[in-house]
């Protein structure tokens, strides 16, 4: 059984392993000891921060842990409000019309406009499940447990929730979109640019990125083809978010042109359809799986396990093992949703 909990300082080695296994293009998990340590420390402090009434600079990083072995299976996180201390850049795809009635010419051309439009929004991020744990409900748990947290503690997060999807790159980390930018505006390769961004050194972006809109039809054919497309490994994650109500509003990543998807917190499917239930701890014969979290924030726990829910009494029977993993007892409340 996998249980999701806040990351601890003792989890550094496991997070470093996730960073190594995640490969190129995973900006939020660079293989850098200082950055990973800082992310863990920041998360620990954020979870322990008292009386949070609105989203600030908090960053909540969690890990999925195998209850039987103690091995960390993956990581998942939420940034409460991005873009204040460190700028958050993106491209917006817009349209401009070039028209000449006298000539009977009417051309619609797409542009990429550089900006910071997601400043202040909450970002779901750092979702990575190690290959050996992929299967069953583990991927859904790591992704959707964040929505149970949003539903139970909405005051800690912004109205708009977004996620950056990993764009197209090859096994060596080369991005067709970045190759065009590199040729015309930069002199560093994609993996280095991605790494520098991951460790917080984003100054080069504002210094070197073209300030005026870029006509998409002037890009190379290879670069144009990957705008708004996702990496093959990211397709399941994108599909899951789309099923939750997330959609692309024509924003893409400035490095690999992967799509950014967003949704109003209240309209996320799991948030809307989640519910609270009072716990009874006992063995049961139910074979129905649910996403289940406790209602604590500092000691947040979530699982995807079988439970016996009674809608009439708003109560749920959890096995002793599941109750122990969630750190709840009879009489406590949990938040639940369909898997």
Catalytic residues: 231
Residue 38 structure tokens: 């800082």
Residues across the chain = 339
Q: Looking at the DSSP assignment, which residues form a beta bridge with residue 95? A: 110
Helix spans in the chain (H):
12-22, 33-48, 138-152, 176-184, 190-198, 203-208, 221-226, 235-243, 269-273, 320-326
Residue 62 and residue 49 in contact, taking contact as beta carbons nearer than 8 Å: no
CA distance 327 to 14: 23
State the Cα–Cα distance between residues 196 and 28, nearest whole angstrom: 11
Helix (H, G, I), strand (E, B), or coil: what is residue 216? Answer: helix
């Amino acid at each position: 059984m996998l249980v999701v909990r806040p990351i601890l300082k003792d989890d550094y080695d496991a997070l470093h392993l996730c960073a190594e296994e995640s490969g190129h293009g995973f900006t939020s998990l660079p293989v850098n000891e200082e950055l990973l340590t800082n992310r863990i420390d920041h998360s620990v402090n954020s979870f322990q921060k008292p009386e949070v009434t609105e989203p600030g600079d908090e960053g909540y990083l969690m890990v999925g842990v195998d209850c039987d072995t103690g091995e960390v299976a993956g990581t998942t996180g939420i940034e409460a409000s991005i873009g204040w201390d460190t700028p958050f850049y993106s491209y917006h795809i817009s349209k401009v019309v070039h028209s000449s009635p006298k000539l009977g010419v009417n051309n619609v051309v797409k542009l990429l406009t550089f900006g910071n439009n997601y400043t202040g929004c909450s970002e779901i991020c750092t979702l990575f499940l190690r290959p050996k744990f992929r299967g069953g409900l583990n991927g859904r748990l790591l992704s959707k447990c964040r929505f149970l947290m949003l539903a139970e503690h909405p005051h800690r997060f912004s109205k708009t929730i977004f996620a950056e999807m990993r764009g197209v790159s090859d096994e060596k980390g080369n991005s067709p979109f970045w190759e065009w930018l590199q040729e015309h505006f930069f002199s560093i390769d994609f993996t280095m640019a991605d790494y520098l961004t991951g460790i917080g050194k984003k100054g080069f972006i504002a210094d070197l990125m073209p300030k005026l809109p870029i006509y998409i039809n002037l890009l190379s054919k290879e670069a144009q083809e990957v705008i708004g497309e996702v990496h093959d490994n990211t397709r399941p994650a994108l599909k899951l978010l789309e099923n939750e109500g997330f959609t692309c509003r024509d924003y893409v990543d400035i490095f690999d042109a992967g799509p950014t998807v967003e949704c109003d917190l209240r309209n996320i499917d799991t948030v809307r359809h989640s519910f609270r239930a009072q716990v009874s701890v006992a063995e049961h014969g139910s074979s129905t799986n649910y996403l289940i979290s406790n209602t604590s924030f500092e000691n947040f726990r979530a699982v995807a396990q079988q439970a016996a829910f009674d809608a009439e009494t708003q109560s749920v029977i959890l096995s002793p093992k599941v109750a122990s993993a969630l750190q709840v007892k009879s009489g406590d409340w949990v938040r639940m949703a369909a898997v």
